Chain A
């Protein structure tokens, strides 16, 4: 069981908060697609023949691709890899690209069966600050039309802790989202990554960061409202209706193998992680000249263990103590039990059926707990 991620590193416009690799030079699209195909060939053996259960086309903005271009990519994947008939195939899209024709063709003429829409907010002021191309009306239309086109697995992204966003506005955003009966929600608080436009604004004191206390309250409200609406929080920032969690993303958190195709994409096959160069021109050149286009790290037992703790504790499945003893040995098992003690005592972690989980209290200081549980 494995996944494939394809990174489409193009955007029509740069969002002010985004620090993923992307370019607005869309004229390189054709050449880049050719390189993506070549990389799909190169990586053919990385997954050691595992069947592909999930495909995720993300970015950037995948919805800059035409239906033909999407199909070119997907058919190449099927040609090189063993793709399961029931594979989850997710496509990330911006609301402004989701006109009715495009949506109908996506649904009818491709094998894509899951759509993830970058809504971010239903408030125009927020969307302007985030430098998004859509407004709140367009956001709502996009969701409605996606569902209308027939998609039965629709996810949206929302951002909270946006400077100027009140608690009432956040509640309103959540209610709006759930009113569409979407299947899945990823909600993130706004982070200020160095190099982004919004980070500069923060440094120049043009905007203020939302106070920690306020951000925490918004997060608590998110969990509360989602639960009431029938959504399960299966990861720190991810909520879904039963049976609609993202299999692809869950793969990342449960140590499934995946390959990442395209500039800045990451791959993982248990033994190694590797990541491609984050530059379209460099990526294209290196792929074409058969030069190394990625960096690699080998994962030793301790690193694998730490990653298991990190990804596991973030999910509702927690970490499996029996699995730890089996996979990592008795010593690691003993160490983790000891490290967990103060957190168990403090009710930040709970133990159920040989699994550790973050409690509803511990989840707010997940990083603090995880870093303390790491082995050195």
Chain B
């Protein structure tokens, strides 16, 4: 065991994160470092230790970040390396910024076969903004398809480093790892901070544990924190006892004290993730710091969608499941809502589309909930004629046209990096989505960065899928919010046999309404089964019908043969026919399959 004195020496601490695009090898590199430093033995080695949710592993992305401590000896001196993991998706960019704020350096990992992607760039810029020392790593050099020269040029363009600074590596084979470890120690500066100042620690993540409650991860900027002390979370104003503090080395290791520069965790009997806000500052009750650490923001959901139980009886169970999800996902919000078509459910707020999908999948997998999701929409601001501003999270929450002065919708700055041959179709896509081109930058001779100004609502529908298919998967995409602007939006309603289906209403730009209405009608015609009567499907703006389709009544539905051998088969077929009906929602007299409620998302 190292002596206390060694532990305290800030000179020997290196706090760093890894910036990488999905699948560029961040997790493999992290595993490799854990092995090299013997933090993890070969025997315990499990693929991608840092991603510990099933869902994360399957999707190959890291949703919740963690911090892990490694000991590394260089030239006889022992160093403490804290690797702070960062989520790799656009929905979680605020959380990334807090992780970055806890570091002094970053490994920029780029896949030598793929090159720099949009997400990497935006995270890299955040790191540079925070004055992090950047160590560029060219990963997957063992792959035959590696194109080191081209990618090296991209990295130099981005970071301004010299060619020699870029470390060639393969996390898979272990090639280059020694040099990475050495450069972490040599290049990344040790943390600064005043151990004698009042306590100031940045919360950059939290994890829910069903036995012990919330583990909040923090970095001590100034001062020191001891076990048992009374601490205060500045933004929430709440006071806790530091029941346990410590560091994470694969397993949790309790400590009595953590000093300026240290990264660790605190357990203080907190039950819900909502109480722990990423970006908040921990200080002492008895001797508080003057100022909180800058950069704290309340995370605001940007995308909203209704979640309803398939079986109305499961409403309470759905509420309980959402509450449990919220324990470890503070950015999920929900309020009860009801729909004439779907009954009682919840309007949920998400950071973005991926976050929405993750929540939906977790409800399915972890809680075994059968749910219907409605079409997502962004958060609008509606201004009434009386000058009031109302946040609208649901098409049905829009004020009556007579009282409505105007609507504002959120805009984003979108960055797309693509191959030059895809520029045309991508521009067409973005302009079709009401985007305006702001900038066009050649990263290399055949890679272009396009910057668009566009409404967020346009990417909520099917933007990703289209971008992926146009670019055959090569384009990457990132965005950040740029504020609200006036918009000419209309509420498009769908009617089935004259009855409005509130769950199918959408707020949409007037210029898209006709085309969109027609396509929704067509899609619903495909999805709604024939019944004993004709079913009229109509799209309407106010009282004006703008599109119509008809599902013809069933005239003949009878099997000719039913003999001995056919009875089982025939019964099963009819049981299936029956089951199909059971999973439907009755709207007026019309049976609507669940898939219809998401139909608009799947249109091409």
Complex formed: what's the CA distance from A366 to B577 in Å?
12
B46: which A residues are within 8 A, CB to CB? none
B568: which A residues are within 8 A, CB to CB? 266, 273, 275, 297
A372: which B residues are within 8 A, CB to CB? 578, 581
Complex formed: what's the CA distance from A81 to B575 in Å?
35
| Interface pair B567/A273, CB less than 8 Å apart | yes
| Interface pair B564/A252, CB less than 8 Å apart | yes
A-side interface size class: 35 or more
Q: A5-B564, A275-B565, A310-B570 are in contact. Are A365 and B582 (CB under 8 A)?
A: no
| Interface pair B557/A367, CB less than 8 Å apart | yes
Instruction: Flag whether A374 is at the interface (Cβ < 8 A).
Output: yes
CB neighbors of B among A345-376 (8 A): 346, 363-368, 370-372, 374, 376
A307: which B residues are within 8 A, CB to CB? 567, 571
| Interface pair B567/A365, CB less than 8 Å apart | no
Complex formed: what's the CA distance from A365 to B565 in Å?
22
Complex formed: what's the CA distance from A316 to B582 in Å?
29
Complex formed: what's the CA distance from A5 to B557 in Å?
29
B567: which A residues are within 8 A, CB to CB? 252, 266, 268, 273, 307, 310-311
B574: which A residues are within 8 A, CB to CB? 306, 310, 367, 370-371, 374
A273: which B residues are within 8 A, CB to CB? 567-568
Complex formed: what's the CA distance from A314 to B565 in Å?
16
Q: A191-B560, A306-B571 are in contact. Are A364 and B555 (CB under 8 A)?
A: yes
Complex formed: what's the CA distance from A268 to B563 in Å?
12
A95: which B residues are within 8 A, CB to CB? none
Q: A306-B571, A310-B574, A346-B532 are in contact. Are A368 and B562 (CB under 8 A)?
A: no
| Interface pair A314/B560, CB less than 8 Å apart | no
Tell which of B555, B570, B571 touches A216, judged by Cβ atoms closer than 8 Å.
B555
Complex formed: what's the CA distance from A268 to B566 in Å?
12
**Closest chain B residue to A368 by CB distance?**
B557
Instruction: Flag whether A212 is at the interface (Cβ < 8 A).
Output: yes
| Interface pair B570/A249, CB less than 8 Å apart | no
B577: which A residues are within 8 A, CB to CB? 367-368, 371
Instruction: Flag whether A170 is at the interface (Cβ < 8 A).
Output: no
Tell which of A253, A258, A363 touches B558, judged by Cβ atoms closer than 8 Å.
A363
**Closest chain A residue to B574 by CB distance?**
A371
Binary CB contact string for chain B from 569 to 604 against chain A (1 if under 8 A, 0 otherwise): 011001101110110000000000000000000000
CB neighbors of B among A207-260 (8 A): 212-213, 215-216, 219, 236-237, 249, 252-253, 258, 260
Instruction: Flag whether A177 is at the interface (Cβ < 8 A).
Output: no
Binary CB contact string for chain A from 186 to 198 against chain B (1 if under 8 A, 0 otherwise): 0011010000000
Q: A260-B565, A265-B565 are in contact. Are A213 and B555 (CB under 8 A)?
A: yes
B571: which A residues are within 8 A, CB to CB? 303, 306-307, 310
Considering only CB atoms and an 8 Å cut-off, how many residues of chain B contact the other chain? 24
Instruction: Flag whether A264 is at the interface (Cβ < 8 A).
Output: yes
CB neighbors of A among B489-532 (8 A): 532
Tell which of A188, A215, A365, A374 touches B575, judged by Cβ atoms closer than 8 Å.
A374
| Interface pair A188/B570, CB less than 8 Å apart | no
**Closest chain A residue to B552 by CB distance?**
A212
What's the nearest-Cβ distance from chain B to residue A345, in Å? 11
What's the nearest-Cβ distance from chain B to residue A13, in Å? 21
Instruction: Flag whether B251 is at the interface (Cβ < 8 A).
Output: no
Complex formed: what's the CA distance from A20 to B560 in Å?
15
CB neighbors of B among A294-312 (8 A): 297, 303, 306-307, 310-311
Instruction: Flag whether B559 is at the interface (Cβ < 8 A).
Output: yes
**Closest chain A residue to B533 by CB distance?**
A346
| Interface pair A212/B555, CB less than 8 Å apart | yes
**A216, A306, A307, A368: which has the most chain B beta carbons within 10 Å?**
A368
Complex formed: what's the CA distance from A307 to B575 in Å?
10
CB neighbors of B among A162-188 (8 A): 188
What's the nearest-Cβ distance from chain A to residue B565, in Å? 4
Instruction: Flag whether B77 is at the interface (Cβ < 8 A).
Output: no
Instruction: Flag whether B554 is at the interface (Cβ < 8 A).
Output: yes
Complex formed: what's the CA distance from A297 to B571 in Å?
13
Instruction: Flag whether B43 is at the interface (Cβ < 8 A).
Output: no
A189: which B residues are within 8 A, CB to CB? 560
Complex formed: what's the CA distance from A275 to B570 in Å?
14
| Interface pair A212/B564, CB less than 8 Å apart | no
Binary CB contact string for chain A from 81 to 122 against chain B (1 if under 8 A, 0 otherwise): 000000000000000000000000000000000000000000
Instruction: Flag whether B472 is at the interface (Cβ < 8 A).
Output: no
| Interface pair A252/B558, CB less than 8 Å apart | no
Binary CB contact string for chain A from 41 to 71 against chain B (1 if under 8 A, 0 otherwise): 0000000000000000000000000000000
Can you list 15 A-B pairs with a CB-CB distance of less than 8 A?
A5-B564, A191-B561, A236-B558, A252-B563, A252-B567, A265-B564, A266-B567, A311-B562, A365-B554, A365-B555, A365-B557, A366-B559, A367-B559, A367-B577, A368-B577
Apart from A365-B532, A370-B574, A371-B581, what 11 extra A-B contacts exist at CB < 8 Å? A5-B564, A237-B560, A252-B564, A260-B564, A266-B565, A266-B568, A268-B567, A310-B567, A368-B554, A374-B574, A376-B579
List 6 tightest A-B contacts by C-beta distance, closest first. Answer: A188-B560, A371-B577, A368-B557, A266-B565, A366-B558, A371-B574
Q: Which A residues are within 8 Å of any B CB, using their own CB? A: 5, 20, 188-189, 191, 212-213, 215-216, 219, 236-237, 249, 252-253, 258, 260, 264-266, 268, 273, 275, 297, 303, 306-307, 310-311, 314, 346, 363-368, 370-372, 374, 376
